[in-house]
Amino acid sequence: MANETMMALGDFRFSVMKANLDTVSTVESWIWAEQNIIGESPVSQYVGKNSVVKTINGRIYRNYANGVGLNQINDMIEMANTATPLQLVDGAGNVYGDWVIMSIDYQEELIDQNATAKRITFKMQIKSY
């Protein structure tokens, strides 16, 4: 992976000069089923671990990637529409296995006189596959 790449999800690259990462948060959780007992308080039974969920927050500027920076949000959406697990790799080359895109939330900001955004901030939620 090139040095400028901060993270890769499938063929999509997050980097300083493209879709820039601001934060990546991770949620790990466990499943505890509640069992009711007549005349007693319920007890919990460990059932297993939930899938790991990561939230990727970042921003894209219109002038990034030789002026096609804002098209990257469409690339993310097209990637999600394939409904295919994607390999997650960080910039150091660590492989985190396959992940699926659960949601992409984005806002167009700094709107110019042509109603074109100069910046898009995004939040992508992915889940381990």
Domain boundaries, the chain: 5-128
Q: Does residue 1 sit in helix, strand or coil?
A: coil
Structure tokens at 3: 């040095």
- This prediction has a pTM of 0.84
Kindly report the CATH number that applies to the domain delimited by 5-128.
2.40.30.200
pLDDT in tens, the chain (129 residues): 446 889 999 999 998 777 889 999 999 999 999 999 999 999 999 999 999 999 999 998 877 766 667 788 899 999 999 999 999 999 999 999 999 999 999 998 878 888 888 889 999 999 999
Q: Does residue 3 sit in helix, strand or coil?
A: coil
Measured distance CA(44)–CA(97) in Å, rounded:
31
CA distances from 29 to 4, 23, 50, 114 (A): 32, 20, 6, 45
Measured distance CA(96)–CA(76) in Å, rounded:
19
Do 56 and 14 meet the contact criterion of CB atoms below 8 Å apart?
yes
